[in-house]
Structure 1
């Protein structure tokens, strides 16, 4: 060790405050690599913890407990692959992990994300900050006869009457189907709820009482009133379902050629592009390819059924349910997510189009970010993962090497 421990502790504090030169950052990185045990002791120092918390409170970023180990693993895996200025970027990612460890030890979930402003030219940051998070729901309902009802243009009350079933807009923006009590329906009529890109999450209550939340860039087609011995809806995008129990009629969600079959339970279906993930939060469901019910798989609480294209269904366990439900709870969860996947989420939420210049690596990003932040604030945080960006006319975001 070239200097006393106190010297490196001062460097760590300076780095958390974003005050180090490149040379000092290099020295701190070398110390971390050579003396990880001493470094860990530093993280337990109350002064370092307090400093990290103060810096974190202004960052707007949180990190789930499961992210910490994965951050460190990725950084260590790439420790020998960066040189020069890249080492400083590497150190920053290591410090983010260190700050996470500090805060997790202190029983808080806030992560210090030090911002490297040189990645984001001021003009680009200002332009991106002008793209705000969705303020209203732009959702619309297409009725059985083809009429389109725009939800944001109407106040609470009756939106449409379809036979004896009323479509209502309730306080808080939820829409609900209210069927006449005791009436038996014989004809199936379908409506479609579409929640476009750049729209707040919308929630709907079906005629059987089932409650569905729909993410931006999603749509769901469903009967005005359920007829027969099953309740079937078709989802495109992402939805969270709280299904009303009915032992006589199973509830089926069809998405990307995959059927999720339940009697009454809570689960999330993520079905953007060709990837479909069904995550169970309560009860039990069966997931099968359409037309292959006998070959379906049952999943339990905390498990996720995964299907890509026409491949075989797989089951993953120990799923971070908070991460799965982050979209419904008002945050982005980028816990080890590849940047292209993260950008797909930003495309849907902010209604932008993302392109990539040649040579942009699909790095991973971590942590949770408030979905109410402007695009520029989110990009400034994510930019610390090692990519640059520029915003062009027409809400076009270009990621640069």
Structure 2
């Protein structure tokens, strides 16, 4: 692959009208292989943005994707941070057609309205059906040990547990005068298509992903701070060396003093992942607590049954959901669909031959679902989509 300066110079000359496909064989090859580059260049005007985007692409993708004869792969990657804990991103890229179907790449263009608006109407299949599938939102219920359940407000992003239970803006959900809260155990539950935040009584913060639940006491009165998780959550634990924070799932036990980490432990997945972004944690399978692993930042414990393996990862990929996006790095199409279906709340079926297509890229969690499906469709020419209500059927077009 040519160096970044050469690529930026080529694209800048094209955008400035200094060269054209007719007098630049290299540009001609680029456009022939990737026709959508014309639309991309119409939107990108800043040289520094090009340079930064190409640098980010090289840092993000794996080495083998950068080695390809004399073609050029360009990824235009622009981030637009938003306030609070959720940010939306725009990732625009091209894919390498020389890869086999088993290693196909989604070149993610979500959040980029320009591409969808300039695409032919023939590509917009099943539009009416896709409007029935929408991104998730802040949705959750709070259930007490006596069975009482409160439906939490969707226009609020989270709750705080103190003497009272309140939303983050201070609005009271339930006061200690109304109910004896400090004596209660609570279960925060999100449905498919839901997410919610809770600040626990010790000041620890938990972001709960879709189709998940977190059980915790109103007050940590014992020698430890223990909670139980089903599904996925990101934790920022308040440091307290005298009172360890312990998270148990159906498969593992995680012990910390004060740290930031993510746990993905859904009951319909045969393995669980604990990913550390800051601090240090000790992880052990529930059925074999002597088999422990100590995690440091950018390491991950993969638990399956009574086995545990520690691997090195990019923690940002595994906590991206908490910041308002999905990031996929060499992930199978079946795994990607499983995550998307929880957030967008749809059912799906996928042809066996397509399940292992590999996906790279990033999408905003708040993107319209029609654009999500269009990206899936262009991953491989063999993909054929059929939408029936909230059921997505991915078939092999033979």
| TM-score, normalization by structure 1 | 0.70
Is contact 1:67–1:366 with CA below 8 Å preserved after alignment? no
Distance in 2 of aligned mates of 1:168 and 1:177: 7
- 1:232 partnered with 2:232: no
Equivalence map 1:214-229=2 (5 Å):
214-229=208-223
Runs of 5+ in structure 2 lacking a partner? Answer: 1-20, 79-89, 95-106, 110-114
Q: 2:329 aligns with which of 335, 338, 344?
A: 335
Instruction: Note the C-alpha offset of 1:285.
Output: 0.5
- 1:68 partnered with 2:86: no
Secondary structure at the counterpart of residue 227 of structure 2: strand
Pair 177,303 (structure 1): closer, same or farther in 2 beyond 3 Å: farther
Listed one character per residue, the Cα deviations across residues 25-75 of structure 1 (whole Å, up to 9, x for unaligned) are xxxxxxxxxxxxxxxxxxxxxxx99569469x9xxx9976554336727x9
Q: Would you say how many aligned residue pairs link Structure 1 and Structure 2?
A: 332
Listed one character per residue, the Cα deviations across residues 125-173 of structure 1 (whole Å, up to 9, x for unaligned) are 4422442212x4220100121111111268799999xxx9421112299
Distance in 2 of aligned mates of 1:204 and 1:213: 7
- Structure 2 residue aligned with 1:295: 291
- Structure 1 residue aligned with 2:25: 7
Structure 1 or 2: larger helix share? 1
Q: 1:197 aligns with which of 192, 201, 206?
A: 192
Instruction: Note the C-alpha offset of 1:243.
Output: 0.8
- Structure 2 residue aligned with 1:140: 141
Instruction: Note the C-alpha offset of 1:256.
Output: 2.6
Structure 1 or 2: larger strand share? 2
Distance in 1 of aligned mates of 2:353 and 2:158: 53
Is contact 1:203–1:212 with CA below 8 Å preserved after alignment? yes
Equivalence map 1:336-355=2 (5 Å):
336-355=330-349
Is contact 1:70–1:336 with CA below 8 Å preserved after alignment? no
Listed one character per residue, the Cα deviations across residues 262-301 of structure 1 (whole Å, up to 9, x for unaligned) are 1111111111223211111111110012254333111111
Distance in 2 of aligned mates of 1:235 and 1:359: 34
Is contact 2:264–2:274 with CA below 8 Å preserved after alignment? yes
Instruction: Note the C-alpha offset of 1:392.
Output: 0.8
Is contact 2:193–2:343 with CA below 8 Å preserved after alignment? yes
Pair 337,396 (structure 1): closer, same or farther in 2 beyond 3 Å: same
Distance in 2 of aligned mates of 1:252 and 1:345: 26
Distance in 1 of aligned mates of 2:193 and 2:26: 46
Distance in 2 of aligned mates of 1:348 and 1:245: 32
- Structure 1 residue aligned with 2:254: 260
Listed one character per residue, the Cα deviations across residues 171-206 of structure 1 (whole Å, up to 9, x for unaligned) are 299x999999xxxx7x6x32100011112x311011
Secondary structure at the counterpart of residue 322 of structure 2: coil
Is contact 2:285–2:292 with CA below 8 Å preserved after alignment? yes
- 1:323 partnered with 2:321: no
Q: Quick check: which has more Rg, 1 or 2?
A: 1
Secondary structure at the counterpart of residue 269 of structure 1: strand
Distance in 2 of aligned mates of 1:203 and 1:225: 17
Pair 203,177 (structure 1): closer, same or farther in 2 beyond 3 Å: farther
Pair 5,234 (structure 1): closer, same or farther in 2 beyond 3 Å: farther
Is contact 2:332–2:355 with CA below 8 Å preserved after alignment? no
Instruction: Note the C-alpha offset of 1:346.
Output: 1.1
Is contact 2:334–2:350 with CA below 8 Å preserved after alignment? no
Q: 2:264 aligns with which of 263, 270, 274?
A: 270
Pair 5,198 (structure 1): closer, same or farther in 2 beyond 3 Å: same
Instruction: Note the C-alpha offset of 1:390.
Output: 1.2
Q: 2:165 aligns with which of 164, 167, 171?
A: 167
Instruction: Note the C-alpha offset of 1:383.
Output: 1.9
